Amino acid sequence: MDGVTGKLNLQPSTAQLLFQSQLQRAACKLLGSMGIEGTVMQHRIYEDEVIELSPDVSVILLLPPPDSVCAVAGQSEALFHRPEFLSVPVQVFEMIHLRTYQRDLIGRYSRLSSILELDSNLAQLAMREVSTSWILIVSITKSSIV
Q: What is the pLDDT along the chain (146 residues), one digit of tens a residue?
A: 555 666 677 888 999 999 989 988 988 888 888 887 777 788 888 877 788 888 888 888 888 776 666 555 555 565 566 677 666 666 677 767 666 666 777 778 778 888 888 888 888 888 888 777 777 777 777 666 75
At 119 the pLDDT is: 86
Which phi-psi region, left, alpha or beta, contains residue 6 (left: φ > 0; alpha: ψ -120 to 50)?
left
At a CB cut-off of 8 Å and minimum separation 6, what does 99 contact?
106
| Model pTM score | 0.42
Angle between helices 90-101 and 103-145 (to 10 degrees): 140
